[in-house]
Amino acid sequence: MVVLITGASSGIGLATANYLTEKGYKVYGLSRKMPENVEFENLVCDVTNYKAVAEKFEYIYNKEGRIDVLINNAGMGIAGAIEHTEAEDIKKIFDLNVLALINSCKCVVPFMRKCGGGKIINIGSVAGVIPIPFQACYSSTKSAVDIFSTAFGLEVKDFNIQLTTVMPGDTKSNFGFNRVKNTLMQDEYYKSRIDNSIKKMEKDEREGMSPLCVSEVIYKVIKRKKSPSRVAVGFNYKTIVFLSKILPRSLMLKVVKKMYG
């Protein structure tokens, strides 16, 4: 089985590429950077370069004769008040987290259809279900990933292509360190709220689950005959997603505001 993973040079992507390689899958990574000492084949590629991505997909298909699983993992974060967020950074996060993901899905469908089907696993986030203040752009992109996956899944269901959104919560990785932060973390209006919110996010990430926990869930999704449309990773986060469905929205937002606002 041939698996393609975007953003495979670090964090969840690297952990999953290594894990699936150990399980016997033929794994290809698509990343801007070349990871060191790995057993899978990584192709250096900027996934926001649509032409380059299409060429890499065609290369893999011509070499292997199939692409069975696509895992869209590449992504970035932005932290800070929207009022202080640069337009360039907003465009950058939507280009990478949403538009590049959609393009990868478009590229892989013809190859999966030729092979009689496949699975596309898009890495979303619990933050796409629970809106996080001072991470509004990130929450928006991950919410978009979830809705896109569901709608696109309906379009390609007749081709035996299954879509799943995997939604991790706080995970130990270098994602937080690579997060784009606004230079203005305190001002006369927001005062210390931005700084306090980001410190809590980073603390939760440092104490969060291992990327391997996400890899194990992805593996289970691949193995299942019929994949779920969405799955949260970890009991606590499954509980949070469940409660978000049954609690009054005003109560949920009040709790989030108290935690992060």
pLDDT tens-digit readout, 142-190? 999 999 999 999 999 999 999 999 999 888 876 655 677 776 667 788 8
Instruction: Average the pLDDT over each of 66-80, 116-130, 247-261 and give the range with the smallest value.
Output: 247-261
Identify which of 64, 57, 161 has the alpha carbon closest to the alpha carbon of residue 117: 161
Contacts of 143 (CB under 8 A, 6+ apart): 128, 129, 131
What does pTM read for this prediction? 0.92
Does residue 186 come out as left (phi exceeding 0), alpha (psi in the -120 to 50 range) or beta? Answer: beta
CB 200 within 8 A of CB 156: no
Domains and CATH numbers, the chain: 2-260 (3.40.50.720)
What is d(CA 201, CA 26) in angstroms, rounded to the nearest whole number? 35
Q: Band of the pLDDT at 137, cuts 50, 70, 90?
A: very high
Average pLDDT over residues 110-129: 96
Beta-carbon contacts of 23 under 8 Å, excluding residues fewer than 6 positions away, are 219
Q: What is the pLDDT of residue 72?
A: 98
> Worst-scoring range by mean pLDDT, 57-71, 210-224, 243-257?
243-257
Look-up: residue for tokens 């752009």? 137
Choosing from 138, 190, 237, 260, the catalytic residue is 138
Annotation marks residue 260 as catalytic: no
Mind listing the pLDDT tens digit for each residue in 3-55? 999 999 999 999 999 999 999 999 999 999 888 889 999 999 999 999 999 99
